[in-house]
Amino acid sequence: MYNTIIISIFIMMGSITQLYAQSQNLQESNSQHDTLSQTQSNSVASEFDAFFNSTIRKAFEIKLLYYETSTVLERIAKLDKKYYDALIKSGFTKEEALRIMIANPLIVNLSPN
């Protein structure tokens, strides 16, 4: 009986050792997988950033070309002047009107910076 108990303990210890080794291998595998996944994620993020920045730059260039070849700048200037005059007429000082216009522009700047 004593021998049976000893043998059972050795078998259990062997099983525990195998489970421990498997868990270590699994952890190493997960670590390698996480590193690979992180590398792939970084690569995708980098490609997206490059695409996004390129698209924003193209859109900005189109906007500049539009401003250069149309009367839109004069129209925006007239609109801003009306906005400024309306603020003054409403009782704001010149400085307050200017600060309001800066904080709350009618035409939002869409530059890529």
Q: What are the residue ranges spanned by the domains of the chain?
A: 1-51
Kindly give, in sequence order, each residue whose CB lies less than 8 Å from that of residue 92, ignoring residues fewer than 6 positions away. Answer: 100
Which of 75, 84, 74 shows the shortest CA–CA distance to 105?
A: 84
Average pLDDT over residues 93-108: 92
In which residue are the tokens 């049976």 written?
4
47, 110, 58, 53: CA torsion to nearest 10: -10
12-16, 35-39, 75-79: segment of lowest average pLDDT: 12-16
* 7: amino acid identity, one letter: I
Answering whether pTM is above 0.75, one says: no
Which tens digit of pLDDT belongs to each residue from 38-92?
A: 776 677 677 777 777 888 888 888 888 888 888 888 998 999 999 999 999 999 9
Q: Which pair of structure tokens corresponds to residue 69?
A: 């070849």
